[in-house]
Structure 1
Amino acid sequence: MTHIAVLGSTNMDLVAFVAKAPQRGETVTGREFRTIPGGKGANQAVAAARAGATVSMIGAVGNDAAGTRLRETLEHSGVDTDFLRTVEGPSGTAHIVVDDEGGNSIVVIPGANGTVDHLSPGDEGLIASADTLLLQLEIPLAAVVAGAAAAHRHGVRTILTPSPIQPLPPELLAATDLLVPNQYEAITLTGRTDPREAATALLELVPRAVVTLGATGCLYVSRDAEPLVVPAPRVEAVDTTAAGDTFTGALAVALAEEKPVREALSWAAAAASLSVERAGASASMPYRPEIDARFTA
């Protein structure tokens, strides 16, 4: 079975549902509040595990109730947490406002994730045993760079989600096989305002990239192949939180299983489309039979 390692964040998502998100200085009344396990690293781990891979999570949670629940949620989805450390202090949190159109805005407080600033003993061995390493930017950049370099040394595919967006050091880009930004992140990284131009410009940084375009689908570019535009299934979005993480986790599984690129992208888009039909981050992520059913429909 495909083995995917994830080096990244775990957060407790504190989600407020509102008709319309407040502007600066404005107070609005929400209709619902939920506490949902999330974090970009944990989200991608759950997505990959539910999509059919063996998944191992490298990161940290706090020694609080949130940390216990975060670990249990990962384990319930089949993610190995032997390398998920428990540290003194609070777990990470994400404060999310979701509007009635399914859009969201997010403030992340790192908490325990801030302690993941290096690889600990055993982490490199775990990475070396994997087919793919998934990376994001909700933990200190030094650890992301170290993880990517370790994967590169051992011939393990690296997939990087550059979120929250920040400048990417050359050593990280050199060890990145596939970059998966959303449209905003691609434009920020390249300075190009047109998504297709931004995607092409990313090839100056990495050999392959997938720019996710929300409900429109995604755009794949490679230094050694023609660009691909893959549409997303048309669905009624309830909550887009973690749709990108669902896409990336499922894509990692599909590529590790050596699906053709177009098929892998379509399969991942099917997974993401299922996730936006439900509220929450990890709670919304589909299992493989659901993805296969939507993909073949």
Structure 2
Amino acid sequence: MIGKQGPNIVVIGSINMDIVIETPVIPEKGETILGSEMKLLPGGKGANQAVAASRLGMETSFIGAIGKDRFGEQMQQELNRHSINQALTVMPEEKTGIASIWIHDQDNRIVVIPGANGKITWSDIELRKSYIDRSDVVLLQLEIPLDTVVECIKYAHGAGKKIILNPAPAQSLPEEIYPMLYSLTPNRQELSVLAGAPEILQENDFTALYAAMRKMIDKGLPSIMVTLGADGAVHMNASGHTFHIPGRKMDVTDTTGAGDCFNAALAVSIAKGLSMEQAAEYAVAASALAVTKFGAQNGMPEVAEVTRFMEYAF
């Protein structure tokens, strides 16, 4: 059980085994090709964010669900290896979630099979709500059922917690939750879905991007932080004040998990009491380092790496 010697966060979300395939080309319909390599790596947005937060020096707990199978056992071992407090529901009738990830030309395409992730309910999480009660920041994503996420947000809000929602994968959200959040952290594509603004997919159009962010703020959202990949991140608060933290040019090995690293680093910084601008600078630095290594969780930087990087990059 976690203590309260210092700030801590709880991550509520998905945990998967990633089946990672490197391929020289993307096959066309009906085409068979020879890939370069296959790896089995621990993943899932929730678990990725928990690992990243722990590696960044934060006392971290993870609430999620696994099947009673070999992949589930391996996921538990990985959480233990990263000193993460576990609050897992084991579902004998379900399989542990998996994600099929194709990596090609420094980019990735992902298909997720939810398994136990898709069955977790508030009733499961309520049994472990003490982890929420003791946390400073609650971090969620959308790879578990939306109804469950909404109930978690309502409970955490009632408990006075700072809630960060990473709305990935993109889907419509009930507007009642927006005022309960500390911040929403979509990428450009996810924001286009939430705001009904496909025009923001033009990467150089910041005017349209700010208009879409304003639309979300008008729903009662206190803060929105949009991740822009290599272009960094842009933020808007309830008063309409904005800032942009530019990205850093890196030698890219694997972009898988970079967004998860950003969210974890943002949550860690907020738990430590940093301003949103300071938190964004830290998150941009951490996620820049994440793309230089292979694998979602294996690529998460240690706190000392981020500190050294920020001394030279900013």
Relative to the length of structure 1, the TM-score reads: 0.95
Aligned partner of 1:282 in structure 2 is 297
- The answer as to whether partners of 2:137 and 2:163 remain within 8 angstroms in 1 is yes
1:207 Cα offset (Å): 1.2
Instruction: Identify if the C-alpha distance between structure 1 residues 189 and 56 changes in structure 2 by more than 3 Å, giving closer, same or farther.
Output: same
Equivalent pair of 1:119/1:146 in contact (CA under 8 Å): no
Distance (whole Å) between structure 2 residues aligned to residue 56 and residue 117 of structure 1:
18
Unaligned runs of 5+ in 2: 1-5, 201-208
SS in 2 for 1:98: strand
**1:107/1:172 Cα in 2 relative to 1: closer, same or farther (>3 Å)?**
same
Query: Residue 204 of structure 1 aligns with which residue?
Result: 218
1:130-154: CA deviations, max 9, x gaps? 1011111111111101110111001
Show CA shifts across 1:93-115 (max 9, x none): 00110112x21111110111122
Contact 1:3 1:54 survives alignment (8 Å)? yes
Q: 1:239 aligns with which of 243, 254, 257?
A: 254
Q: Which runs of 5+ in 1 are unaligned?
A: none
Asked whether the equivalents of residues 235 and 277 of structure 1 are also in contact (C-alpha less than 8 Å), the reply is yes
TM-superposition CA deviations, 1:214-251 (whole Å, max 9, x none): 11111111013620100112101111111000000011
2:75 to 63, 70, 79: 70
Residue 22 of structure 2 is matched in structure 1 by: 17
SS at match of 1:146: helix
Quote the Cα distance in structure 1 between the aligned partners of 2:190 and 2:235: 15
Residues 23 and 198 of structure 1: CA distance in aligned 2, closer, same or farther (over 3 Å)? farther
SS of the counterpart of 1:142? helix
Contact map agreement 1:232 1:269 (CA 8 A) in 2: yes
After superposition, the Cα gap between the structure-2 partners of 1:222 and 1:157, relative to the gap in structure 1 and judged at 3 Å, is: same
Match of 2:108 in 1: 104
Asked if residue 170 in structure 1 is aligned to residue 175 in structure 2, the reply is yes
The letter for the 2-side match of 1:188 is V
Name the residue aligned to 1:90: 95
* CA positional deviation for 1:175: 2.2
| Partner Cα separation in structure 2 for residue 197 and residue 214 of structure 1 | 19
CA distance in 2, matches of 1:117, 1:68: 21
Partner of 1:228: 243
Match status 1:115 vs 2:119: yes
| Counterpart residue identity of residue 141, structure 2 | Q
Provide the secondary structure at the position in 2 that maps to 1:123: coil
Quick one: percent identity of the two aligned structures? 38
- CA deviation digits over 1:64-84, x for unaligned, max 9? 111011111112112101x11
Contact 1:15 1:33 (8 Å CA) reproduced: yes
2:24 and 2:252 mapped to 1: Cα distance?
Answer: 14
Q: Could you tell me whether the CA contact under 8 Å between 1:232 and 1:266 is conserved in 2? A: no
Structure 2 distance, partners of 1:119, 1:132, is 21
Provide closer, same or farther for how the CA distance between residues 261 and 225 of structure 1 changes in structure 2, counting only shifts above 3 A: farther
What is the distance in 1 between the residues matched to 2:308 and 2:279?
15
In 1, the alpha carbon distance for the partners of 2:191 and 2:103 equals 23
Q: Provide the secondary structure at the position in 2 that maps to 1:56.
A: strand
Q: Which whole-Å CA distance do the structure 2 matches of 1:173 and 1:69 have between them?
A: 36
Contact 1:199 1:219 in 2 (8 A): no
Structure 1 runs of 4+ aligned residues shifted over 6 Å read none
Please, which of 173, 177, 194 is the counterpart of residue 189 of structure 1? Answer: 194
Is 1:179–2:184 an aligned residue pair? yes
Write the letter of the residue equivalent to 1:50.
Answer: R
Task: Tell me whether 252-261 or 14-23 shows the greater mean CA deviation.
Answer: 14-23
The 8 Å contact of residues 132 and 138 in structure 2, kept in 1 or not, is answered as yes
Q: Which residue of 1 aligns with 2:3?
A: none
Q: Mean Cα displacement is larger for which, 22-31 or 127-136? A: 22-31
Deviation at 1:157, TM superposition (A): 0.5
TM-score by length of 2: 0.90
Letter in 1 for 2:61: S
- 1:127 pairs, out of 119, 124, 132, with 132
User: Hey, what's the Cα distance between the residues in 1 that align with 2:149 and 2:234?
Assistant: 25
Given that residues 178 and 207 in structure 1 are in contact (C-alpha distance below 8 angstroms), is that contact kept between their aligned partners in structure 2? Answer: yes
The range that moved more, 167-176 or 55-64, is 167-176
Following the alignment from structure 1 to structure 2, what is the Cα–Cα distance between the partners of residues 130 and 158?
A: 10
- Residues 43 and 296 in structure 2, CA contact (< 8 A), matched pair in contact too: yes
Deviation at 1:24, TM superposition (A): 3.6
